[in-house]
Amino acid sequence: MTPFSGSAVQNAIYIAREPPEWPISFEDWERRAEEKLDPRAFGYIAGGAGAEETMRANLDAFRRWRIRPRMLTGNATRDISVEVLGTRSAAPFLLAPIGVLSIAHAEAEVGAAQAAAAHGIPFILSTAATHTLEDVAATDAPRWYQLYWGNDRDLCASFVHRAEAAGYRAIVLTLDTLTLGWRPRDLRQAYLPFLDGQGCGQYFSDPVFLAKLEQRPDEDPLTAAATMLATFPNVGLRWDDVNWLRAQTTMPLLVKGVLDADDARRALDHGVDGLIVSNHGGRQVDGAVAALDALVEVRDALPDAVVLMDGGIRTAADVVKAIALGADAVLLGRPYAYALAVGGRRGVEELLQNLMAELDLTLALAGAHSIRELDRTWLSNAVSHG
């Protein structure tokens, strides 16, 4: 396979001698998305819990680390690919599970998955998606399924079994959203897209859920949406319950939302195959620890575990820092949601191509041959070293 060339992507932009059609930086994507979206939809995607301190902490954590380039290493070609639990990715990131992508663009999860497939990037489908498991499977993207474990075990099992039947390669159980956090941007607008039927695709296509209704969702959409919301909270869930979920499938099982080394150990003790260090992009607990800081703690405690990280990834430098600090891969969230809002599938394809190009060039200039060789010797702590 021909190595990915960031220089080729960059040179094509310069040779065109015209400003590119698509945004280049994260800030450009965010600005264009805000211009295009309904203010309520933009606020839902962009916002976080409380005063949004956790969102800021995620970004600030990356600034505390600096890359230490190495010269003349002969790295004329680089490898930015990774493999996690049997799933290969052409770059060291996966597309994070984001609910209700239909508020960003009509192509929603299908468009994002198609873009991921075009670049060999795995797509993680959210339980709170508008398109169904089966619709996204038809894109043939390498894919995992993210599970919100509501208060109905039969429904939970049905989602897992549907994912297995549709060729998903792993289950990602989200731990940190057993009920919704306090999100002022949405509360000011009294905006919850699920009440409009957005993000209900898995439920409205599931036989276990449909058996709860007297009328089909298309006949009584408000009751269907209210029933879906009633099944969502499950704050009584405990670690021992994970044993039941582990028994439901032979697929790899990951947990998302770990911010503490003790919780990470407990997860592994209950049969989990991988950990995703995440604070839900700052959308759940305001004032929480930054995901990158928690990654360091979890990796130090569990040097051999499969550990991914989610939260604050904006640039190739962020990816490099997270991998060097111990992540096997990272999850890309808001950047692709904004790209979807700007241009649907094509927008996401462009974002992924440019991020991969930036990553390849960053490795070239840092002196690395492979993303997988990075460790903490490639970084310097900005706080300690000034």
The reply to whether 295 falls in a domain is: yes
The reply to whether 310 falls in a domain is: yes
Number of domains in the chain: 1
pTM beyond 0.75: the answer is yes
For residue range 58-88, what is the model confidence (pLDDT) as tens digits?
999 999 999 999 999 999 999 999 999 999 9
pLDDT at res. 382 = 78
Catalytic residue among 119, 270, 280, 385: 280
For residue range 240-260, what is the model confidence (pLDDT) as tens digits?
999 999 999 999 999 999 999
The reply to whether 54 falls in a domain is: no
Angle among Cα 141, 142, 147 to the nearest 5 degrees reads 105
The reply to whether 288 falls in a domain is: yes
Q: Is the dihedral of CA 273, 277, 280, 284 positive or negative?
A: positive
The reply to whether 278 falls in a domain is: yes
pLDDT at res. 2 = 58
What average pLDDT does this structure show over 85-100?
98
Percent of the chain scoring above 70 in pLDDT: 98
**Residue closest to 170 by CA, chosen among 243, 105, 231, 249:** 249
Longest dimension (CA), the chain: 70
For residue range 307-339, what is the model confidence (pLDDT) as tens digits?
999 999 999 999 999 999 999 999 999 999 999
For residue range 159-181, what is the model confidence (pLDDT) as tens digits?
999 999 999 999 999 999 999 99
Domain extent, residue 105, equals 75-375
Residue entry with tokens 């607990």: 285
Kind of pairing, strands 143-147 and 123-125? parallel
The reply to whether 36 falls in a domain is: no
Checking if the pLDDT of 369 tops 50, the result is yes
Q: Domain with 154 in it: what CATH number?
A: 3.20.20.70
Residue 162 to residue 145: CA distance in whole angstroms: 10
The reply to whether 210 falls in a domain is: yes
Residue 120 to residue 78: CA distance in whole angstroms: 17
The reply to whether 27 falls in a domain is: no
369 belongs to the catalytic site? no
